[in-house]
Structure 1
């Protein structure tokens, strides 16, 4: 089959430029240069009806602050840093505490609010950003590139690269919210599978407290299971988070180290026949069940409700910079941070 991947700038406003990736199957993915955010992913269901599998704001202007991080690249630190503090090479650093007593997703002016520079290259879209020394409290001038490629099999490959002129913590992720029935109902009947034997239990502030086996718990998705019934399990960890907001350890060794690129999760919607597969080389996969979506103004004048979308965010472990495996998340001069995550949307018969 002739490859017909294309990328084009399809809309421009004062706040953002919108780019569209298309493949030979006429699948369309739109990306904003505001936060390098995934805004829309149009894909057919088993009946050929095209629907959007991503959640998005009702107004484009909402991406300027993007308080729910819809579709955005998150940095410099995805997830949480306990008490907004860490030590690096004997020096203490303080970053913004924007989630109670903790730091979350790079702070209120993290990468998700930045205007990225977009470059179209051979059917892919490269987004570039420079974060100056001291921005958000993080050390080092950090240069970041994120490249999006959509192939004819429905795979969106996200390649990350970063370099710094001083030692700095780094933990990047993409934060799309998916609903494979294109918003006709919530995600509770979606069948989730996560290839992980362990996850990180959290405290009341969603900071990892201990490594735990998934066996016999609500967190065991090693075999596909519907999300909805697990939300009602009398599991203390589910109660703490109001659902799922936990990191699964998806690489061998359980030590926060990246590993080979491999498929770590899949989600299937029986109604539409759509399937999402996730592959990554990262140590962690954060499963978030959309616990705080109530009242968010979404596309088509539709207010989202709790559990109307889910996230599977490939990343390092939350608060890893303050744990025994901190060195794995420190980028030093002369090194190159690299990460690859692949989301694939397809049909399952």
Structure 2
């Protein structure tokens, strides 16, 4: 069962907050600006509630949201090298807002746009129209997300999008988690990721090659605490200041005409456990990639407390296509064409281990 209520409104900027609440009192607060996850209140093993999402103290900061806290990212999550790509023989230059690269939709990013709330008996549905030329991308895109919270602690995010012209689409959710509720950093969090390979990056964080995780700091096939891995001597960690890499998730075999991302079934791909609180986060997705980001650039980002955030105060597990995939051999899988529907589902489940 999902209970849907409006919690409050910011009169100054017209930002509305919506609360999804399950039968056990778990609450997820979502803003209609950027369709952002603002808070997720959940109990620990002793029944004490805490907010497991990082965020701003003042809701107005979500208007610019330079840290992308909790937002839906589009049209393109992650990076595009030099902000350039080619679709059907036409070259496009999109915003370069991360050095020479495009990042997270640029100035036309979905995280910067007010979303419209649509009636839906299953949960909170939000939609937006991204016009042709937004951030340099072709085509008018209608995007939708449906948030649902059930009594098992599952927050399900269903994404859809349509277009009137071929355009790259790669949507994701950029929630920052800290399962101890912000009482400490994420060093003690124990992570597992069901992936044998990850994408190594160059100095601009653009993927260069797929590498085996075996024998490296990136091997989370068996659960391991995050903190010790951050101090391993590894050139890839030095480049990114920590983890900011995409894991290549296991895929099912598909026919040539079923190569698009939504051909993958929803499957569990990662688990994070905090021994102190007993909270556990499980991630399931239909996507082929999972970006693990260890909050490397959180220094001096204002948060909810008196002190600003510090590096590694939170982590992200962003289900998505591969970074820069539009310029790689699987580019066709990330091009949405007229008459097609982009579909993606990712589920974050919070539970408590004794």
Give the Cα separation in 2 of the matches to 1:252 and 1:214: 17
- Report if aligned partners of 1:78, 1:172 keep a CA contact under 8 Å in 2: yes
- Indicate the residue corresponding to 1:251 in structure 2: 250
Counterpart secondary structure, 2:108: coil
* Alpha-carbon distance change, 51 to 342 in structure 1, aligned in 2, over 3 angstroms: same
Alpha-carbon shift at residue 58 of structure 1 (Å):
1.8
- Indicate the residue corresponding to 2:130 in structure 1: 131
1:102-156 superposed Cα distances (whole Å, 9 cap, x missing partner): 0000003310010000124224000000001111100011000100000000000
Match of 1:303 among 298, 308, 315: 308
Matched, 1:273 2:278: yes
Give the Cα separation in 1 of the matches to 2:122 and 2:320: 26
Match of 1:314 among 290, 313, 319: 319
Output aligned runs, 1:171-320, within 5 Å. 171-252=170-251, 257-258=261-262, 259-320=264-325
Give the Cα separation in 1 of the matches to 2:67 and 2:317: 14
Give the Cα separation in 1 of the matches to 2:351 and 2:15: 29
Give the Cα separation in 2 of the matches to 1:102 and 1:288: 18
* Alpha-carbon distance change, 256 to 290 in structure 1, aligned in 2, over 3 angstroms: farther
Give the Cα separation in 2 of the matches to 1:291 and 1:92: 33
Give the Cα separation in 2 of the matches to 1:201 and 1:336: 31
- Report if aligned partners of 2:194, 2:250 keep a CA contact under 8 Å in 1: no
- Indicate the residue corresponding to 1:62 in structure 2: 61
TM-score (normalised: structure 1): 0.97
Count matched residues: 346
Alpha-carbon shift at residue 253 of structure 1 (Å):
6.8
Give the Cα separation in 2 of the matches to 1:92 and 1:107: 18
Counterpart secondary structure, 2:219: coil
- Indicate the residue corresponding to 1:6 in structure 2: 3
- Report if aligned partners of 1:256, 1:283 keep a CA contact under 8 Å in 2: no
1:35-60 superposed Cα distances (whole Å, 9 cap, x missing partner): 00000000000011000000001211
Matched, 1:345 2:350: yes
Alpha-carbon shift at residue 8 of structure 1 (Å):
1.1
Give the Cα separation in 1 of the matches to 2:125 and 2:239: 38
Which ranges of structure 1 fall in alignment gaps of 5 or more residues? Answer: none
Give the Cα separation in 2 of the matches to 1:328 and 1:192: 29
Alpha-carbon shift at residue 256 of structure 1 (Å):
8.3
Counterpart secondary structure, 1:303: coil
Alpha-carbon shift at residue 257 of structure 1 (Å):
4.2
- Report if aligned partners of 1:194, 1:265 keep a CA contact under 8 Å in 2: yes
Give the Cα separation in 1 of the matches to 2:63 and 2:230: 32
Counterpart secondary structure, 2:340: coil
Alpha-carbon shift at residue 77 of structure 1 (Å):
0.2
**Over the residues paired in the alignment, what is the CA RMSD in angstroms?**
1.3
1:308-343 superposed Cα distances (whole Å, 9 cap, x missing partner): 000000000000000000000000000000000000
- Indicate the residue corresponding to 2:339 in structure 1: 334
Give the Cα separation in 1 of the matches to 2:51 and 2:203: 34
- Indicate the residue corresponding to 1:91 in structure 2: 90
- Indicate the residue corresponding to 2:74 in structure 1: 75
